[in-house]
Amino acid sequence: MGERPKDTRAAGTAAIELVGIAKRFVSKRGTVTAVERVDLTIGEGEFFSLLGPSGCGKTTTLRMIGGFEEPTQGQILLYGNDVVGVPPNRRDVNMVFQSYALFPHMSVFDNVAFGLERKGVQKAEARTRVGEMLDLVQLDGKADRRPKELSGGQQQRVALARALVNRPRALLLDEPLAALDLKLRQAMQLELKRIQREVGITFIFVTHDQNEALTMSDRLVVMNAGRIEQLGAPREVYERPRTRFVAGFIGTSNLLTGTVRSLDGGTAVLDTGADESIVVPGAAEAGAAVGSPLDVTVRPEKIVLSAQRPDAGRCAVRGRVTEVVYLGTSTQYAVTALDGSELLVFLQNAADSDDIANRNDDVWLSWRAEHCLPLGEPLSGASGPVDVTKDPSLVAAS
Ligand SMILES: Nc1ncnc2c1ncn2[C@@H]1O[C@H](COP(=O)(O)OP(=O)(O)OP(=O)(O)O)[C@@H](O)[C@H]1O
Ligand SMILES: [Mg+2]
């Protein structure tokens, strides 16, 4: 391994850098690759999420940052220092587990004070610091209660206070809201954001809930099978999914496949086999080649339905409506295109809109070319080197 390129750091101080991290668990039953390869730079003060389906390696990645697991390969830098081999309590990070792990026989106060006592912090100072933390998580009146006398959300706040009282530089949170019901969960999402703003430290947040990741994060990675599929700000990842997996995992996506008929200045014209053509800007960058198949995606809310052929400037395909579902503020139309693709369209129910189409109607679906996104290979992974020119926050181990 040579030197890491210097121009690939996230802006500002890097709090955490993962360089070519991999983790394999070896047992009598065989080898499990939990993390295939992860390269990542997380900035100081960021709210950063690891998002992905069950088993994709989120917890393993977080546990390696926290020091509860050692990587099989790669480097972990916390504030520039290589911490591989350094035990969890000597790293400047704290972890909040899904199962709170509070001491049931201790009061809220003692639960929060526990770590400070073990560190030998003076009683008076500990008292002040615990008080501040209970204030921060809005549990100041509940210091004497036992955990079982608290709601799930309140217990989660105690777990947070207990981690934050140690003044870590980064907090690692593994699905901390998973046990809460939807309403409480949403309230705690806002709480967590407020707390992170107030304490100003880096939060690394693990979730398999896309809404949670999209609403809370400054940036996030989408993980799949131990690899990073995409990294970016929530809007970027939602608006410009770069792989088939991300398009399918985040929000609802329509997938279309065609053959590249021509490539001009990076823009492809795609044959869908139904005497229609689809224009795909940015296709060359996604690896499109003339004569080869290319997957593209269009979000359901970017598509317009019409009975007549739309303006020549729009990309359009024909199809037949197979389902109309009224959803209150919007209506969802399922359409089978001439080439057999199933497409979904969401249309807002505006004050002046009548029924746009009914079941079995023949319709045109159209969209602006810029809303048709080419899908390619994941940025990082075993399949090839990371292209750092495309994403400055990914660090290539060269
Ligand atoms: N100690 C271990 N020994 C063997 N295999 C493990 C171990 N820990 C995790 N794995 C395997 O590694 C893979 C990744 O696990 P991990 O817990 O990181 O997933 P996750 O993304 O956190 O999933 P979830 O959303 O279900 O919590 C899984 O296939 C899991 O079975
Ligand atoms: Mg997990």
Tens-digit pLDDT profile for residues 1-19 = 344 444 334 456 689 999 9
> For atom 11 of ligand 1, which residue has the closest CA?
34
Choosing from 31, 32, 61, 209 the residue with most ligand 1 atoms within 8 A of its CB, the one to mutate for a pocket test is: 32
Instruction: Pick the range with the lowest mean pLDDT from 35-39, 213-217, 338-342.
Output: 338-342
Q: How far is the CA of 286 from the centre of ligand 1 (A)?
A: 31
Which positions ≥6 away from 181 have C-beta within 8 Å?
152
Which three-class secondary structure state does DSSP give residue 164?
helix
pLDDT of residue 397 exceeding 50, the answer is no
pLDDT of residue 180: 82
User: Distance (Å, rounded) from C-alpha 63 to C-alpha 366?
Assistant: 46
> For atom 25 of ligand 1, which residue has the closest CA?
54
CB 391 within 8 A of CB 302: no
pLDDT of residue 145 exceeding 70, the answer is yes
Percent of the chain scoring above 70 in pLDDT: 89
CATH topology of domain 244-375: OB fold (Dihydrolipoamide Acetyltransferase, E2P) (2.40.50)
Which positions ≥6 away from 291 have C-beta within 8 Å?
259, 260
Bridge partners, residue 172, by sequence: 95, 204
Burial 138-161 (b: 16+ CB within 10 A, else e): ebeebbebebeebeebbbbbbbbb
Task: Please give the single-letter amino acid code of residue 253.
Answer: S
Q: Which atom of ligand 1 is nearest to the CA of 52?
A: 21
pLDDT of residue 390 exceeding 60, the answer is no
Instruction: Pick the range with the lowest mean pLDDT from 153-157, 358-362, 389-393.
Output: 389-393
The residue with greater pLDDT, 356 or 308, is: 308
CATH topology of domain 6-92+168-239: Rossmann fold (3.40.50)
Percent of the chain scoring above 90 in pLDDT: 66
> For atom 4 of ligand 1, which residue has the closest CA?
25
Average pLDDT over the chain reads: 87
User: Distance (Å, rounded) from C-alpha 234 to C-alpha 220?
Assistant: 7
Residues with CB under 6 A from ligand 1: 25, 32, 34, 52, 54-60, 208
pLDDT of residue 60 exceeding 90, the answer is yes
Walk across the sheet containing 277-280 and list its strands.
277-280, 267-271, 254-264, 293-298, 373-375
> For atom 13 of ligand 1, which residue has the closest CA?
34
* Average confidence (pLDDT) over 209-232: 96
Q: How many CA atoms lie within 13 A of 205 on its CB side?
A: 30
Choosing from 27, 36, 56 the residue with most ligand 1 atoms within 8 A of its CB, the one to mutate for a pocket test is: 56
Q: Which atom of ligand 1 is nearest to the CA of 62?
A: 18
Q: How far is the CA of 114 from the centre of ligand 1 (A)?
A: 29
pLDDT of residue 262 exceeding 90, the answer is yes
pLDDT of residue 296 exceeding 90, the answer is yes
Cite the residue boundaries of each domain of the chain with CATH code 3.40.50.300. Answer: 6-92+168-239
Given pLDDT bands bounded at 50, 70 and 90, which one contains residue 182? Answer: confident
